Every structure is written in C-alpha cells, then in structure tokens.
Amino acid sequence: MDCIFCKKIEEKKECLFENELAFAFFDGFPVNKGHTLIIPKRHVKTFFDLTKEEVAAMKELADKVKEYLDKEYHPDGYNVGLNCGEAAGQTVMHCHMHIIPRYVGDIENPRGGVRNIIKGISLY
Ligand code: AMP
Ligand code: ZN
C-alpha cells in the first residue's frame, strides 16, 4: 500500500517516540514550532476506526510528546486535533493526531481554538 505514514513506520524514519501500537514524529509542514503527529501503527483511516488499545497507546505517546515539547519549546498551551474524513479536511488517509503547541501572541486572538475551524459554516 502506498501510504507515506506507513512508510515512516516501516523505515523508523524521523521517529520521536514509539510504543507497540503507535508512533510519533514531527509534522513535515509545521503550523507552529513543535507541531507533532501521533499515528497508530496499523493503517486505519480515522480515529473512529481505532481500538481502545490503540487510543491508549496514542495517549501514552501524547503525554510523552507534551513532556518533550514543554522542555524543548516551553509552549503556553496546545491544540490537539484529528481531522476525520475529506469533508473535515483530512489529506493523509492514515489516522493521525495533531499536537500543536501554542504560544501567547502567536495569533492576535486565540479565543475559540479548534472551534474556529467552523467559523465559516457557523449556523449561529
Ligand atoms: P491532515 O490535513 O489532518 O490530513 O494532516 C496531514 C498532515 O500531515 C499535515 O499537517 C501535513 O503537514 C503532514 N504531512 C504531509 N506529508 C508529510 C510528510 N511526508 N512527513 C511529515 N508530515 C507530513
Ligand atoms: Zn498508512
């Protein structure tokens, strides 16, 4: 199968942390300093395809990634997100969790965080 994320796992390329079921690496096109992705080792499309064990493995890596990023970059907060399906903006069809460090002043008004995604289609 031609999947860029499966290839990273196979080649153990750019691995930041891994455990039996999950793998973490820096995003190749970071939206902020330290932007990291956590993926299941099994090729599934979205969060909703994960087993409980894979979710737990990804959470374990999320905690390690946070500890690492806190030490290296001292962010002031985080956005954690999963795009599930093309309509939601997913471009790589191997499930991945975005861990995006946030810094005071990185945008003028951060209020709303991930909720800002749907501002353009807000019904209210
Ligand atoms: P999404 O739009 O949620 O599917 O996110 C895909 C993410 O994968 C984006 O943040 C991209 O910057 C990132 N990405 C795409 N190709 C690569 C790559 N070869 N290595 C690392 N990250 C990548
Ligand atoms: Zn894959």
Give the residue numbers annotated as catalytic, written as ranges. Answer: 96
Whether the CB of 89 sits within 6 Å of ligand 1:
yes
Distance 85 CA to ligand 2 centre (A): 14
Return the residue whose CA atom lies nearest to atom 14 of ligand 1: 28
Please count the other Cβ atoms lying within 10 Å of the Cβ belonging to residue 61: 22
- Token pair for 81: 């997100």
Parts of the chain with a pLDDT under 70: 118-124
Question: pLDDT for 31-49, tens place per residue?
Answer: 999 999 999 999 999 999 9
Question: pLDDT for 70-79, tens place per residue?
Answer: 999 999 999 9
pLDDT of residue 12: 86
- Choice from 9, 11, 13, 27 to test ligand 1 binding pocket (greatest atom count within 8 A of CB): 27
- Choice from 23, 26, 29 to test ligand 1 binding pocket (greatest atom count within 8 A of CB): 29
